[in-house]
Amino acid sequence: MLLEIQASNAKISPEEVLASLPESVREKVRGKNAAVYCIGEEGVSRPRVVGSGNAVLRWPRAVIRRLAEAAGSGVKLFERHNKDNSHEGRKPLGEIVGSFTRTVGDKLQAIAVALMPEDRPDLDVCSIEADVDAQGDIVGDVSKVTGLALSSSRVDSPAFAGAQRLATLQCFEPGSAPDENTNPGKPGEGEPSMPTFQEVKDFIRERNVFPNQLFSIDDLRNDRVFAPILAEGDTAKKKAETLTTEVEDLKKKSAEAIRANENAGAKGRFEKLIPEGATEKQKAFYLKRFDPSKLEKVDDESLKAYLDAEAKEYAEHAKLFGVDDAAQATPGVKTTDTGGEDPVDAALKETIGG
């Protein structure tokens, strides 16, 4: 079974790495930069099996030891996988020079140390290309590790959750570089030195530390670069909120103005809807009580519905006082001289015989 499996994340100190390597490997890395990757760990992984797709495999402790042995000196490093794990057309980025196992918590991990002519800290995910024997979902043996594919966690998702590069070792030969923990001076006067700014940046970047883990928003507001940018954002946000409020006010005022305009012409339209056969008393009754502001809408349909309701109301008044107004509801407008009296009062007086 040919598979690709990406390794789990954990951090490791240079001292632990060097102490875990034999002297022959330490000789190889001395004076060079070495990249350290966890290539597999005890437990469950979700690799891509070449020719079959994704799978779920379980890795016993003994097989992790076998993986570390198989991923020995000479295994080539490549950038990402190809279709069949072959080396054809792929440019090696470096090679593994040593491997070992270590226990983290209750899990055994296989660790590989590699030399790369060009340091690529962006390649923070490793993925073995190997031929393994499995019974069901249990890995029984690792026959051969044919390559180690490197990629970025921004591009590829790991088979083991959270796969990351563990460390970069700077293995200088004795006397070839100053002791990074002391400042030059008189004998016996060496003092611990602060790391350089670039070293701090590299440390943060390699450990995938995010800005919000280091700085609060108030810190950024006091920064000479980010402060103006954030201030512009705050100003734009306030302007947007103000514009939103102004737009809502304009919508409200516009709706009120439209309704006021509709109300202004509603009485004339309502009067035109009164049947020609209505009596002067009926017309006076309808017009005196008409108030467009109390209607939800003042379109023709709403005015007709209101007029129908008012006609029923008028009929109820006439019936209540025992007056049959049907004879006055003949076509044509009846002119009645009320002597300047309120037409509604006159209509009611005539209805009740006042």
Comparing 21-30, 207-216, 260-269, which segment has the lowest mean pLDDT?
Answer: 207-216
Determine the length of the chain: 354
Q: Which residues contact 41 (CB under 8 A, 6 or more apart)?
A: 7, 8, 59, 64, 104, 107, 108, 109, 110, 160
Q: What are the start-end ranges of the H helices in the chain?
A: 14-20, 23-29, 61-70, 197-206, 211-214, 217-221, 226-273, 280-289, 300-320, 343-352
Instruction: Say whether both 108 and 195 belong to one domain.
Output: yes
Residue 182 domain-assigned? no
Instruction: Say whether both 196 and 333 belong to one domain.
Output: no
Residue 58 domain-assigned? yes
Instruction: Say whether both 199 and 309 belong to one domain.
Output: no
Residue 25 domain-assigned? yes
Over residues 133-140, the mean pLDDT reads 88
Instruction: Say whether both 14 and 115 belong to one domain.
Output: yes
The dihedral over CA atoms of 261, 267, 268, 273, expressed in degrees to the nearest 10, equals 130
Instruction: Say whether both 201 and 307 belong to one domain.
Output: no
Task: Give me the percent of the chain exceeding a pLDDT of 70.
Answer: 77
Over residues 157-175, the mean pLDDT reads 58
Residue with more model confidence, 137 or 164: 137
Q: Residue 332 in 3-state DSSP?
A: coil
For 226-279, write each residue's pLDDT tens digit: 888 988 998 999 999 999 999 999 999 998 888 888 888 888 888 888 998 888
Instruction: Say whether both 200 and 134 belong to one domain.
Output: yes
Q: What is the number of domains present in the chain?
A: 2
Q: Distance between CA atoms of 20 and 287, rounded to whole angstroms?
A: 103
Over residues 81-85, the mean pLDDT reads 78
Residue with more model confidence, 326 or 91: 91
For 96-119, write each residue's pLDDT tens digit: 999 999 988 888 889 999 998 888
- Per-residue confidence (pLDDT) for residue 331, from 0 to 100: 33
DSSP state of 354: -
Q: Identify the burial level of 347 via C-beta atoms within 10 angstroms of its C-beta, where 0-12 means exposed, 13-18 middle and 19 or more buried.
A: buried
Q: Distance between CA atoms of 221 and 189, rounded to whole angstroms?
A: 41
For 174-206, write each residue's pLDDT tens digit: 444 444 444 444 444 445 556 777 778 888 887
Instruction: Say whether both 147 and 26 belong to one domain.
Output: yes
| Alpha carbon of residue 194 to chain centroid | 38
- Per-residue confidence (pLDDT) for residue 141, from 0 to 100: 92
Residue with more model confidence, 297 or 351: 297
Instruction: Say whether both 205 and 271 belong to one domain.
Output: no
Instruction: Say whether both 197 and 91 belong to one domain.
Output: yes
Residue 149 domain-assigned? yes
- Per-residue confidence (pLDDT) for residue 83, from 0 to 100: 77
Instruction: Say whether both 16 and 125 belong to one domain.
Output: yes
Instruction: Say whether both 39 and 160 belong to one domain.
Output: yes
- Per-residue confidence (pLDDT) for residue 285, from 0 to 100: 87
- Per-residue confidence (pLDDT) for residue 333, from 0 to 100: 35
Q: Residue 36 in 3-state DSSP?
A: strand
Q: What domain range includes position 296?
A: 265-352
- Per-residue confidence (pLDDT) for residue 158, from 0 to 100: 57
Mean pLDDT, the chain, integer = 78
Over residues 27-48, the mean pLDDT reads 84
Q: Tell me phi and psi for residue 289, to 5 degrees.
A: -90, -10
Instruction: Say whether both 40 and 106 belong to one domain.
Output: yes
Task: Give me the percent of the chain exceeding a pLDDT of 90.
Answer: 15
